[in-house]
């Protein structure tokens, strides 16, 4: 199969200040005879013994339900993560530039990269050992920008003795192509200097899938033979041949769900054969092979197998192993995106001062960061810039409000005055009163705050609240004390400054 390395349009000439990009796709043309002498064979035992390529040997394995389930589970561990640029660093001009390429920018007429699809295709490198990802470069104004990154079939490519990627192409042309590094991101799994093809996990699933097919075949045959009772027709010794044939026809009709009518001197009986435990042999074989597939792809079994035994500690261990696998895949994806970022920055910045960092993380981590930031804000010692909120919200989803003209009305509000923060105690109490009581309750809450500030015990404060509000439930009283205690602590801090 052929494919156009340059896309539909010819690539524009590269400016002099961007060396190394005179040719984006083909680095050198060599005769096939000379080139093949330098190409390393894929040392995978399955491919060598069967004389097949990756497409013929490993792609069909994905049709197996258990293999497909395990692959989806492993990929989902990474695809469920959130990506971000310079997560813990201040954004620079380089960061803004990369973000426009990845997320899209109307001014530059960029639709952005489909990061999810790119990551999904990159993870195929884990399955097959390696996955070439072609970068489609395009000039937009004065900038050289990747407009798409597309995965290519691994069996189209090979590696030479130096570990360089080569496009095998159409053998009828008698030519091979050595690829420039900046044209492809080559995702490799467990690759070494002597084996740039890596080790694909599907190679370890080959024989379990083959044996499982045989197990299913024998299991089906057993079910067909012994799954229903045999029908036995008993006829008299002097029965004629045509009567016997008619009896057999009637038995076949009964076996296929039909009906039969026989003479009263003919008896039809059933014989139950087979042992259910014999059928369990095939069932246990298939379960064992599924477990081997799970271990090959996920490095554990409990997240895909429903076991009858196993402890909580064992399940936690298996979850930890799965998380370690996800973390390894995450680092692999981050590495190649950061390599792409380096290409982009080097091509478009004469003297780059910063290379943005692409990072994947769980949404739970974002919640942890948000909780931390809220606590930091509550100290009154920090004021976040709008750049900080961009890390949590997409542009266009929020509008920044001037605190001086629009003071917030929420409970425990912060009122900004320069670098100082003041809590409005009266507004907080008023909001508590309006929410939980009538307007007269506001005057009653102020003495309770004074009691908290004077250091009275929890029991004494609780008695005062019950005295003022006898119908309150215990949980509500506890909530009020916690809220008022927070207000008093902040007020005391402000007065002590």
Which among 476, 488, 428 has a CA at the least distance from the CA of 452? 488
What does each C-alpha distance from 80 to 30, 75, 326 come to in angstroms? 43, 9, 10
> Scanning the structure block, which residue is given the tokens 């995702």?
187
What is the helix (H) or strand (E) element at residue 159, kind and residue range?
Answer: strand 157-160
Which among 40, 20, 160, 83 has a CA at the least distance from the CA of 361? 83
What does each C-alpha distance from 233 to 225, 246, 253, 267, 296 come to in angstroms? 18, 11, 13, 6, 52
Question: Is the predicted pLDDT of residue 47 greater than 90, yes or no?
Answer: yes
> What is the DSSP secondary-structure string of 377-401?
HHTTS----HHHHHTTS-TTS----
Token digits of residue 221: 């045959």
Q: In this predicted structure, what is the pLDDT of residue 19?
A: 36
Q: In this predicted structure, what is the pLDDT of residue 419?
A: 38
- CA–CA separation, 150 and 25 (whole Å): 14
Q: Which residues contact 397 (CB under 8 A, 6 or more apart)?
A: none
Q: What is the mean pLDDT of the chain?
A: 74
- CA–CA separation, 483 and 464 (whole Å): 16
pLDDT band at 44 (very low <50, low <70, confident <90, very high): very high
Per-residue pLDDT reduced to its tens digit, 457-487: 667 766 766 676 665 566 665 666 666 555 5
- CA–CA separation, 133 and 307 (whole Å): 39
- CA–CA separation, 286 and 219 (whole Å): 10
> Scanning the structure block, which residue is given the tokens 């981050």?
334
Q: For the residues 35-52, what does the mean pLDDT come to?
A: 84
> Scanning the structure block, which residue is given the tokens 């059928």?
279
**Could you give the angle at which helices 115-122 and 312-348 cross, rounded to 10 degrees?**
110
Token digits of residue 175: 């030519």
Q: Which of 32-41, 113-122, 229-238, 359-368 has the lowest mean pLDDT?
A: 32-41
- CA–CA separation, 61 and 172 (whole Å): 30
């Amino acid at each position: 199969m052929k494919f156009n390395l340059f896309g539909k349009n010819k690539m524009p000439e590269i400016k002099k200040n961007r060396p190394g990009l005179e040719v984006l796709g083909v680095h050198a043309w060599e005769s096939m005879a000379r080139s093949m002498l330098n190409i390393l064979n894929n040392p995978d035992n399955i491919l060598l013994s069967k004389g097949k390529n990756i497409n013929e040997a490993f792609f069909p394995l994905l049709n197996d339900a258990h293999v497909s389930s395990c692959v989806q589970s492993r990929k989902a561990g990474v695809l469920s993560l959130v990506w971000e640029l310079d997560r813990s660093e201040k954004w620079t001009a380089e960061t803004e530039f990369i973000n426009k390429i990845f997320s899209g920018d109307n001014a530059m007429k960029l639709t952005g990269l489909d990061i999810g699809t790119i990551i999904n295709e990159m993870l195929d490198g884990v399955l097959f050992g390696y996955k070439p990802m072609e970068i489609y470069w395009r000039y937009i104004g004065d900038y050289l920008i990747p407009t798409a990154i597309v995965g290519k079939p691994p069996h189209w490519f090979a590696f030479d003795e130096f570990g360089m990627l080569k496009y095998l192409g159409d053998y009828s042309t008698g030519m091979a192509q050595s690829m420039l590094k900046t044209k492809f991101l080559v995702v490799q799994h467990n690759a070494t200097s002597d084996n740039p093809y890596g080790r694909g996990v599907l190679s370890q699933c080959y024989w379990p899938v083959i044996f499982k097919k045989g197990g299913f075949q024998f299991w089906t045959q057993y079910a067909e033979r012994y799954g229903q009772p045999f029908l036995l027709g008993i006829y008299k010794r002097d029965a004629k041949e045509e009567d016997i044939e008619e009896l057999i026809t009637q038995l076949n009709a009964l076996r296929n769900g039909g009906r039969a009518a026989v003479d009263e001197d003919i008896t039809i009986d059933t014989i139950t054969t087979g042992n259910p435990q014999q059928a369990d042999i095939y069932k246990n074989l298939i379960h064992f092979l599924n477990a081997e597939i799970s271990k090959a792809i996920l490095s554990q079994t409990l997240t895909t197998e429903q076991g009858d035994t196993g402890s909580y500690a064992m399940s936690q261990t298996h979850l930890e192993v799965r998380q370690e696998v996800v973390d390894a895949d995450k680092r692999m994806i981050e590495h190649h995106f950061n390599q792409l970022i380096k290409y982009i920055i080097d091509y478009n910045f004469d003297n780059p001062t910063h290379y943005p960092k692409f990072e994947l993380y769980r949404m739970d981590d974002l919640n942890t960061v948000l909780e931390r930031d809220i606590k930091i804000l509550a100290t009154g010692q920090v004021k976040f810039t709008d750049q900080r909120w961009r890390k949590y919200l997409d542009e266009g989803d929020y509008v920044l409000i001037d605190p001086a003209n629009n003071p917030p009305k929420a409970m425990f509000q912060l009122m900004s005055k320069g670098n100082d923060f003041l809590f409005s105690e009266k507004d907080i109490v008023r909001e508590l009163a309006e929410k939980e009581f009538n307007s007269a309750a506001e005057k009653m809450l102020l003495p309770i705050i004074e009691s908290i500030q004077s250091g009275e015990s929890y029991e004494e404060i609780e008695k005062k609240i019950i005295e003022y509000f006898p119908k309150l439930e215990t949980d509500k009283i506890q909530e009020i004390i916690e809220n008022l205690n927070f207000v008093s602590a902040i007020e005391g801090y402000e007065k002590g400054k």
